[in-house]
Structure 1
Amino acid sequence: MPEWVEVITRTLTAIVVLFALTRLLGKRQISQLSFFEYITGITIGDLAATISLDVEGTWYLGLISLSVWVLISLGIEFLQLKSKKARDFIDSKSTVLIKDGKILEDNLKKERLTNEELLEQLRGKDVFKAAEVEFAVMEPNGDVNVLLKKENQPLAPTHLGIKVGPESEPQTVILDGKIMDEPLATRGLNRRWINTELEKIGVSLDNVYVGQVDAYDQLYVDLFDDKLKVPEPQPKAVLYAELKKCQADLEMFGLSSNRQDAKTLYENCSKQLEQVISDVKPLLTR
């Protein structure tokens, strides 16, 4: 057999075996590499390359070595599932880098992390002042997760005691100029509705590259012809969002006011607006 044919045969065999063994190891090998998994990935790749190109060696010995590495990796993963001590020993523990706004220099040295690298990691989390951090932890995979102090956290509806209903995911109802019936039915809509909405914005179905429907049943389209500008048909969604924002502002004003009469006024207005929103919601969300 010519060498080039043997190399092709070995490479195809290595690809098939490597794909099967990688699927056996699971997705964690791709998404969250520990130190041992990092070494295993490099070694498995090197063995696969050796099997493909080393025509003078015995090919099945490379496959045996490859299988042994994968079996060892699987065994260690099962051991980690069963034993916390094994997890701590193999993957190590999380390390606290910042506590109560104070950088823990000893822990930085332990992780061989400089103060500049720590600040870079914080900026990656949209944090530019270490003093604003309540808690920062380096995970075993090297990621730094940050919890801001309560006064520095973004204002959310839960801080105001406002309950926000769940919002359904957008549905892709048009792909490559073709209507997708299943996601359309999920939103309780039909093809006639799609055609009506396209007529409103003056777009033909065959010119739609992607069409999506949001939680408010508003259709958003991306066209094959990028030069055409399509207006976003969302007046109902904008109005509903503005009403909710006004209600949230009234509640916030009521909570922040020191005057009892003003607090009562804001709370009453917020309740009245909440009732109005409840009444018009069926009209604005369809």
Structure 2
Amino acid sequence: MKEIATIFAVLAAWTAGPAATDDPLTRPIETSRNAEWLAPAPPEKLFGNSYLVGFGGLSVVLIDTGDGLILVDGAMPQAAPAILANVRTLGFKPEDIKYILSTEPHFDHAGGLAALARDTGATVVASARGVEALRTGRLAADDPQLAYDSRFPAVERLRAMQDREILKLGNTRITAQATPGHTMGSMSWSWQSCEGRRCRSIVFASSLNPVSGEGYLYSAPTSAAIVAGFGRSHNRMRSLACDILVSAHPDNSGPGRYNDQPGACRTYAERSRKALAARLKREAAGSK
């Protein structure tokens, strides 16, 4: 109970606004979704060496490889202290985090990366396109959400990985799974986690929802690569071994913080496919 109280104290401190020290890497980004996205949630074991250390509306995963820790995603800037508090509550040391994997260069998933990397010494890993955006803290020119101009703290210590490249650390092998569409640099991550002889395949999926800033049209010729990217991502999601699905926003994959139902990744892909088809149909009818 003491650990939970500490986490809630940390959450209360950063949701109240900038602290007296006004750390530029954890300075709050305010949105109408903060209460939902950053709803406190206790750390929870997924399976084997994998744990949830994020929030009610933003997923963050911790993996214990036996030779160092790996985080997946970093939520928002002001969330970094609570993420590290969750890591400590599980009995792990933040300084043992060697890598932080990024799904997409948007403030709600990448905003906390700079602070987390600074405070742990970890290297942030992303796709090549993701690295470009993370280095500047700005959205790419072809990002459907560019009109929001959603800036976030730039990340310095970066490593790019290619599609299907494998990151090896300790007893864990994590595969980069390119899933473009929501952004062209979006990357999902898959690995196997075991308890004794029983192993399960876990997928941390990047967002696949076709949302955009004002004025963006998925039906425009300039958006053809984005739409094609969604198609490739749907096919990839359908093909993955997927016993447990964690989506960047938990509500995108179903109720609860993760989905361990059969066919979870296929359902995730189909939901995105239908949403994109509906968006294109509305645009054809003259509305978004």
Q: State the TM-score, normalized to the length of structure 2.
A: 0.20
Q: Which has the higher contact order (CA 8 A, sep 6+)?
A: 2
Q: State the TM-score, normalized to the length of structure 1.
A: 0.20
The structure with the larger Rg is 1
